[in-house]
Structure 1
Amino acid sequence: MESLLGFMETTSSFDVDVDVDRSCDYKLVPWLTWDEWDLVRDSLFSSSPHSITLSLQRITVWRSRGCLPIVIEVTASIVEIQQKDPFFRVDLGDDALDSEEMLTMLYCMAIVRLVNGVVEKTRKKTEVSIAEAADAINIPRMLIDIRHEGSHRDLPSLRLVRLASIKALDWLKSYYWELQKKAIPFQSDGIGSLRKEIKYRLCELAFWLKIKHTKGSSPSLAKGKRTKHCEQLCGRN
């Protein structure tokens, strides 16, 4: 649950509320409501360049507020690079980034940021290596190799980092976006159950207000009237 300032209940290392039962603290997030977060998620992975642009602009606003989870930051970076890559968008025209070396460096930088920012937070440095920590969260080994090559050796080919960007987005969807979507409070059946409960309570309140001044009714008779009246107002379901 979050306030208008964006406070939410969470337990994950990446400000993701994926385990409500174990939640014990609050962290500040840059979005105001879960509806806003979900709209950005939906637009970010859409096929509409206009929707993608709007979602990237909203994430820029979130970044300016601080406390942006690294998984969102890296997702936006990779999507933004792809939007400048003529391989992913043939309609770019003059907005395309034609330099293959520059595209390769941008992709590498985003992947390095992903591996360092995500994996480093999940491992104990004195106990396991980055590769072992990456295996524990099922991050593609290709991303680990590209991070190593881009940091210590020659840059990988553009074809390879393009493929890696696709794998990175697929992993980010399953690791963060889909899990967080499922963990949004009062979602799916929870909303339906809550609405039914509120509706029933309102019917019950209306009934008791109606018979408030009735005298001489026995408890069993009043209960029977209440049930029958609520069924008439709300239906048996």
Structure 2
Amino acid sequence: MVQYVFTPWRSRDELLTVRNQFYPPPPATQTTFTSAEHSKTEKQKAVSRVSMWMHRGGCPHIIESTALLTAAILSDLDNVDGESSYAVRAAYSAAFSRFVTGLLDSHQTMARKQSMYDVAKSVGLPSSFVELRHQATHEMLPSLSRLRVASKKGLEWMWEYYWVGLGEERMVEEEVYGGEGKEERCKELLKRFLGEEDERRRRVLRDGLRVFERELVVRLIDVVCDGDKIDGRGMRRAVGLVRELEGDEAMDDIGEVEEEEESKDVEMVREELGRVLEEVKEREEKGPSWVLVDEKEWVPKPIGVV
């Protein structure tokens, strides 16, 4: 079954337009935020458009954080005489704290509560960002110079973490929708997903797999894991993907194992994958849990009548 993803932007081109307004082109060679080619007006347009997306709902946290930090920078640029430096510091601090807190909270799991430093390490966020967030929240506001540097680094980090991957999403879309051989494309995409070590690229590949029918992906998981050499991490990703497709709690990379334990863990995870696939097969054989009501037997009653 095809899974539809609702986005606050009308088209992918609209999203890329906002990216180009936030970051100077060409994105492949220039990743710094400050650029003479990007006027203050263009950045303000991007902030306003993201604000509209937030009202629509479903806007990713990284996009909102990019807009908030950009708005703080624009406010700083307007403060030419330095008359309201405290307000500018407060705007920087609020935007940066929201960026760090929202990002790390989204990676927390219900099974095991981790410290912010541990979560930051798992997603590649510098520990200095967590320290600055703590100071801005619980202590005196950081200095304006420190906030300016941190905001610039934060925008560059978000470029690498999210924005630069939009080009890869187009590549995945072309692989999924273009030409014939849907099953082969799904199989190749699945192999890349199971073997990809980079978390950001793995999320992009998983989004590409979602456009295929659930039954096709589940069937090919069994084929790929049975016929190809998949390590322990790949097997765990396969288990998590099956559970996610079946509507269970998303468990991407459940319980990563150490390199030295990976070999002895493969068989155990392979058995778990077999059990999960068997549960899916039994569920499909039973059919849906609902039945059609015979119109001759069903009598409608007014609301309130027992």
The percent of aligned pairs where both chains have the same amino acid is: 26
Given the alignment, which residue of 158, 176, 188 partners 2:162? 176
Q: Does 1:138 align with 2:124?
A: yes
2:23 to 45, 59, 62: 45
Distance, in Å, in 1 between the alignment partners of 2:79 and 2:127 is: 34
Q: CA deviation at 1:25?
A: 4.7
- Counterpart of 1:63 in structure 2 is 54
2: CA distance, partners of 1:29 / 1:72: 12
Task: Please give the residue correspondences for 1:124-135 in structure 2 after superposition, counting only pairs within 5 Å.
Answer: 124=109, 126-135=112-121
8 Å contact from structure 2 (residues 79, 85) kept in 1? no
Give the Cα separation in 2 of the matches to 1:75 and 1:83.
12
Q: 1:167 — aligned with what?
A: 153
Whole-Å Cα distance in 1 between the matches of residues 41 and 85 of structure 2?
Answer: 25
Q: Which SS does the other structure have where 1:50 is aligned?
A: helix
Partners of 1:152 and 1:55 lie apart in 2 by 31
Q: CA deviation at 1:176?
A: 0.8
TM-score (norm 1): 0.62
**Residue 141 of structure 1: CA displacement?**
1.7
3-state SS in 1 of match to 2:73:
helix
Q: Aligned in 2, Cα 1:25/1:130: closer, same or farther, shift over 3 Å?
A: farther
Name the counterpart of 1:77: 68
| Partner secondary structure for residue 183 of structure 1 | helix
How many pairs does the alignment contain?
A: 166
Structure 1 residue 50 displacement after superposition: 2.2
Rounded to whole Å, the distance in 2 between the matches of 1:157 and 1:165 is 12
Task: Please identify the structure whose Cα radius of gyration is greater.
Answer: 1
Pair 97,173 (structure 1): closer, same or farther in 2 beyond 3 Å = farther
- CA–CA distance in 2 between the matches of 1:105 and 1:176? 26
Question: Which consecutive residues of structure 1, in runs of 5 or more, have no partner in the other structure?
Answer: 1-23, 87-91, 196-237
Q: CA deviation at 1:28?
A: 2.2
Structure 1 runs of 4+ with >6 Å offset:
none
Letter in structure 1 aligned against 2:11: T
Q: Whole-Å Cα distance in 2 between the matches of residues 98 and 74 of structure 1?
A: 26
Structure 1 pair 29–129 and aligned structure 2 pair: CA distance change class (3 A): same
Among residues 16, 28, 37, which one is paired with 2:6 in the alignment?
Answer: 28
Unaligned runs of 5+ in 2: 25-37, 180-306
Aligned partners of 1:34, 1:163: CA distance in 2, in Å? 31
